[in-house]
Chain A
Amino acid sequence: MNIFSIIEEIEKIDPEFQDRISPRRAAIRNITSFGSKVAMAALPFALGSLFEKAYGQTTVGDVNGTLNFALKLEYLEAAFYNTAINTSGLIPAADLAAFQTIAAHENAHVAFLKSVLSTNAVAQTTQGTNGTYDWTAGGTLPNYFATKDYATFLIVANAFEDTGVRAYKGQAPFIIGNQVVLTAALQIHSVEARHASHIRTIRRKLSSSGTTPKSWITGANDTGFAGVAANYAGEDNTMQGGVDLTTLTNPTTGAKFTTTALTEAFDEPLTYAQVLPLVTPFGVK
């Protein structure tokens, strides 16, 4: 088995193969020595990893695919907030400026992603029904825009923002090493986290306790609404990079960290396959 003849064959039909497996071509050059120095028995596994890296994420996995996935989520968010700020009687005057800011950001993200994708950008009209979304998610949510139900609108906004943060985080490895595209994605990612923080602050101010939800995510689904539990699946993770955080001692207090702190300190990613079912009911395709 000659790994290089295999790669050459693939390149004949897929010229971007090397870029798929690594945005840095230096990586592939190292395989020369790799093949000669590692036992041949290990090769099938290594080769399998190589192909999985290149094609494992069938719908996304290339820069355009990743950016179009982001664009679809931004279309959804932009339409959501545009509807909200144009629904009189929904948002109290004190919060209107914040939602106008958030709406402007989501519209700007749409414009930015479309400009980067150029002719490769999916059209907004491909989403929902000719570009119109179902804000009840197929009847699983009340019609909060029609009834001007601010509390429910805030829960959906809370879930959208936190899910957006998770989705961008999950896509980052697929554009690793790409200075322009990855950096821009990270710059959008942190803006979504700022939005999430603020919407959580709004909800906390309106809550009877005045203490929840926090501006950061505590455990799995701290929104107080079971209907969005899937959006928070895995946020209660306490293993990071192979380190079991529950074993760490807080040198300042001399005690173990609380589980609450362990889950709050790290936000968790979601894969494309995990995000899609969460937004499909609204019309994302």
Chain B
Amino acid sequence: MENLTKNDDQLVAGEKVAGGRMQRKSFLRYAGAGAAAIGMFAAAACSKHHDDASAGVDVGAGDIGVLNYAYALEQLEAAFYIQVVATPYTGMTSAELSAFTDIRDHEILHREFLKAALGTSAIQSLGVNFSSINFTDRTSVLTAAKAFEDTGVSAYNGAGYIITNPAYLTLAGKIVSVEARHAAFIRDTINYGSFADNTVVDATTALDLSRKPSQVLPIVAVYLTTNVTANQLP
């Protein structure tokens, strides 16, 4: 019955979103339906292991799984830029500090938005470990920023097709293009003109990278003390 109700809502949601009038209550209703669908694992991870970061968390299945996957990545990016702004690298210009503050706030907003939208379906706050990044060193910070942004873009690109609710797909689209703007900006800051070079954009098809959750999570695992899995996503 959960799925049937959800299915009906999706059909109705399609037209509401097209008019930009989606209501909070209907948005949360999907989240509620999804919470029932993802089963016990997420709830168990939250309630029983909340203080044990090493125990890990699975993002769940279906649309809620994809949104929690995005929430995990946004948590990581936000934590990184909070640190970048809090402890600026040696020689950071005022223009760079301004841009990093902008990006920090964008990522925090993505995180807070997804948390609010997911409600009780949201995974826990993740533990981060940035010991591999030297925050006093410009090159170290920019290299990490580039990796976070390019990886984030490829993650959204690779997970979009899993989403079944048009409202969620549009929201993911609203976020990913901002991540791509960040990626290009960081790349131009490192090496002007490298905004879309052939390490991320295929030289023949001119398609950006796309990665599955199973490809993205190992890349970001080094920065997380919480073991994040996406075992229920394709």
A residues whose Cβ falls under 8 Å from a Cβ of B:
21, 24, 27, 30-31, 33-34, 37-38, 45-46, 49-50, 52-53, 56, 97-98, 101-102, 104-106, 108-109, 112, 165, 168-169, 172-173, 176-179, 182-184, 186-198, 200-201, 210-211, 214-216, 234, 237, 239-245, 248, 250-252, 257-258, 261-262, 264-269, 271
Please report the C-alpha to C-alpha distance between residue A97 and residue B198 in the assembled complex, in whole angstroms.
13
Report how many A-B pairs have Cβ atoms within 8 Å.
246
Contact A241/B106 with A183-B161, A193-B181 known, Cβ cut-off 8 Å: no
On whether A194 and B195 interact (CB within 8 A), knowing A241-B113, A243-B113, the answer reads yes
Residues of B within 8 A of A251 (CB): 108, 112
Which residues from A are CB-within-8-Å of B108? 250-252, 257
Question: Which of chain B's residues has its CB closest to A109's CB?
Answer: B206
**Most chain A CB within a 10 A radius of its CB, from B25, B185, B206:** B206
CB–CB A267/B178 < 8 A: yes
* A280 CA to B204 CA, complexed, in Å: 29
Residues of the B chain whose Cβ atoms lie less than 8 Å from the Cβ of A34: 4, 7-8
Partner of A108, one of B4, B25, B206: B206
Complex interface: chain A residues within 8 A of B168 (CB): 241
Interface residues on chain B, size class = 35 or more
> Interface readout for B14-39 with A: 1 if CB under 8 Å, 0 if not?
11011010111111100000000000
List the B residue with the shortest CB-CB distance to A28: B7
Q: Once the chains bind, are B8 and A172 in contact (CB under 8 Å)?
A: no
* 29 A-B contacts (beta carbon < 8 Å): A27-B10, A50-B11, A52-B15, A53-B15, A56-B18, A98-B195, A106-B206, A108-B205, A177-B161, A183-B157, A187-B209, A189-B173, A190-B176, A191-B206, A192-B177, A193-B176, A193-B181, A194-B184, A194-B196, A196-B181, A197-B181, A197-B182, A198-B184, A201-B188, A240-B113, A243-B113, A245-B109, A250-B105, A265-B105
B1 at the interface (CB under 8 A from A): yes
Question: Measuring CB to CB, which residues of chain B are less than 8 angstroms from any residue of chain A?
Answer: 1, 3-4, 7-8, 10-12, 14-15, 17-18, 20, 22-28, 82, 95, 98-99, 102, 104-106, 108-110, 112-113, 116-117, 153, 156-158, 160-161, 163-164, 166-171, 173-185, 188, 193, 195-197, 201, 204-210
Write out the residue numbers on chain B whose beta carbons fall within 8 Å of the beta carbon of A178.
161
Docked Cα-Cα span, A107 to B54, in Å, equals: 48
Give the docked Cα–Cα distance between A33 and B7 (Å): 11
A250 → B minimal CB distance (Å): 6
Bound-complex Cα distance A183 to B196 (A): 18
Cβ–Cβ contact B117 & A49, under 8 A: no
Q: Which residue of B lies closest to A243 (CB)?
A: B116
7 tightest A-B CB contacts, nearest first: A242-B24, A108-B206, A197-B184, A193-B180, A173-B166, A187-B207, A242-B27
- Closest residue of chain A to B14, judged by CB? A53
Report the minimum CB–CB distance from A204 to chain B (whole Å). Answer: 9
Check if A105 sits within 8 Å of B11, measured CB to CB: no
Residue in chain A with minimal CB distance to B160: A186
Q: Are B170 and A112 in contact (CB under 8 A)?
A: no
CB neighbours (8 Å) of B193 from chain A are 97-98, 101, 198
CB closest residue in chain A, given B183? A194
CB distance from B50 to the nearest CB of A (A): 18
With a CB–CB cut-off of 8 A, which chain A residues contact B188?
197-198, 201
Contact B11 A49 (CB under 8 A): yes
Cross-chain contact B170 with A193 (CB below 8 angstroms): no
Chain B residues near A192 (CB, 8 Å)?
A: 177
Q: Please, how many angstroms separate the alpha-carbon atoms of A243 and B116 in the complex?
A: 7
Taking each of B11, B20, B112, B188, which has the highest tally of chain A beta carbons within 10 Å of its own beta carbon? B11
